[in-house]
């Protein structure tokens, strides 16, 4: 994120492929109708998802029930854009690197160790994670600290479902997410740009917020490697770097974790990193954003919304000075 930055902090526009995923687009129109109440009923919903999935290409599909409570109405980013413009420094610092190089990541077998301040530590493989709770499709905005954003239909369930199973002890105040760091599979690990493994963290109440998603897929399919396969978190009211990819460990701890970007540049990347148009990055404004896919010459930037528009989370921070705890 620190690298190859233009003076205003905005990356040059990408030539985006505007071919939408027919499958996803049809589902999305359906969800929108559902949300405005012009269609009702679980049976119809089932029918539509089945039909949409039947059209899907030969990728590993992941059936999930759309959850209309977690849908933003913005037009979703195309699959092509969402999978070719990525930040995943384990595979390089260029936005195109993850799509080029993450093919080397072996995502099965894969286990996630859940440890630390919990009564029931466990190590779960991907199949167990897939079965842990019903999979939902949720359409979230994700706003990168660099000034761009996307809208992605994720597949997963609230991280709270997993937290409940491991029973945190009274000492658990924070949750730390540790990404895989394997030099053999991840060419970027040789670079000193960040301290490896990539670590992120949340306060326990943030981790337990129903919006915090443990994601195993997107666009009705398993996660592409470049997007954090086989399992990542998505915290939609925080800058994208809080959403750690390819997680190998989830640790419940007493003290606020040291996180990768905070270690790299503490003045620039705070622990909280809530999307906040009123708190600028030291080197650029955070008041607006460029939606990936809206890159035309005359495309207007969008105003960035407090908590990325997820105002429900405000109560997590009542009484806190969010300029100080940025």
Only one residue has tokens 């974790």, namely: 257
Task: Check: CB of residue 216 under 8 Å from CB of residue 62.
Answer: yes
Query: What is d(CA 242, CA 54) in angstroms, rounded to the nearest whole number?
Result: 34
What does DSSP say about strands 221-222 and 111-116: parallel, antiparallel, or unpaired?
unpaired
Is residue 241 near ligand MTE by the rule CB under 6 A? yes
Residue closer to ligand MTE by CB (options 48, 213) is 213
Residue closer to ligand MTE by CB (options 230, 240) is 240
The least distance separating ligand MTE from the CB of residue 49, rounded to whole angstroms, comes to 23
Is residue 86 near ligand MTE by the rule CB under 6 A? yes
What does DSSP say about strands 174-179 and 247-253: parallel, antiparallel, or unpaired?
antiparallel
* Number of residues forming the site for ligand MTE (CB under 6 A): 19
For residue 197, give every residue at least 6 positions away whose Cβ sits within 8 Å of its Cβ, in sequence order, or none. 178, 179, 180, 181, 248
Residue closer to ligand MTE by CB (options 30, 237) is 237
Residue closer to ligand MTE by CB (options 79, 241) is 241
Considering only residues 187 to 226 of the shown chain, the ones binding ligand MTE according to CB under 6 A are 198
Query: What is d(CA 321, CA 326) in angstroms, rounded to the nearest whole number?
Result: 8
Q: How far is CA 306 from CA 168, 274, 284, in A?
A: 30, 8, 17
Residue closer to ligand MTE by CB (options 114, 152) is 152
Site string (152-181) toward ligand MTE, x via CB under 6 A? ---------------------------x--
Is residue 149 near ligand MTE by the rule CB under 6 A? no
Residue closer to ligand MTE by CB (options 34, 138) is 138
Is residue 1 near ligand MTE by the rule CB under 6 A? yes
Q: Which of 88, 76, 59 is nearest to 153 (CA)?
A: 76
The interface region with ligand MTE, picked from 2-10, 81-89, 157-165, 281-289 by CB under 6 A, is: 81-89
Among 49, 81, 90, 107, binds ligand MTE (CB under 6 A): 90
Q: How many CA atoms lie within 13 A of 50 on its CB side?
A: 6
Considering only residues 26 to 55 of the shown chain, the ones binding ligand MTE according to CB under 6 A are none
**Which H helix or E strand runs over 137?**
strand 136-143
Is residue 304 near ligand MTE by the rule CB under 6 A? no
Phi/psi at 42 (5° precision): -65, -35
């Amino acid at each position: 994120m620190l690298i190859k930055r233009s003076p205003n902090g905005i990356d040059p526009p990408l030539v985006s492929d505007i071919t939408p995923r027919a499958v996803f687009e049809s589902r999305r129109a359906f969800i929108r109708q559902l949300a405005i109440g012009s269609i009702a009923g679980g049976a119809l919903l089932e029918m539509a998802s089945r039909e949409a999935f039947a059209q899907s290409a030969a990728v590993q599909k992941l059936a999930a029930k759309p959850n209309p409570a977690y849908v933003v109405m913005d037009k979703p980013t195309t699959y092509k854009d969402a999978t070719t413009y990525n930040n995943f420094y384990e595979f390089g610092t260029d936005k195109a690197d993850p799509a080029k190089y993450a093919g080397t990541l072996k995502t099965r077998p894969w286990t996630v160790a859940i440890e630390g301040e919990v009564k029931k530590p466990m190590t779960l493989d991907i199949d167990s994670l897939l079965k842990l709770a019903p999979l939902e499709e949720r359409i979230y905005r994700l706003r990168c600290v660099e000034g761009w954003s996307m809208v992605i239909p994720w597949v997963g369930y609230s991280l709270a479902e997993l937290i409940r199973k491991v029973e945190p002890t009274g000492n658990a105040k924070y949750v730390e997410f540790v990404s895989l760091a394997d030099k053999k599979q991840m060419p970027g690990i040789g670079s000193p740009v960040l301290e490896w493994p990539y670590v992120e963290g949340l306060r326990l109440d943030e981790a337990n917020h129903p919006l915090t998603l443990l994601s195993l897929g997107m666009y009705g399919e398993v996660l592409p490697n470049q997007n954090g396969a086989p399992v990542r978190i998505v915290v939609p009211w925080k800058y994208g770097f809080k959403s750690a990819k390819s997680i190998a460990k989830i640790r419940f701890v007493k003290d606020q974790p040291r996180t990768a970007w905070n270690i790299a540049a503490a003045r620039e990347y705070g622990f909280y990193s809530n999307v906040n148009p009123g708190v600028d990055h030291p080197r650029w404004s955070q008041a607006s954003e460029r939606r990936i896919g809206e890159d035309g010459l005359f495309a207007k930037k969008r105003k960035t919304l407090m908590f990325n528009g997820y105002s429900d989370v405000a109560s997590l921070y009542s009484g806190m000075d969010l300029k100080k705890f940025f």
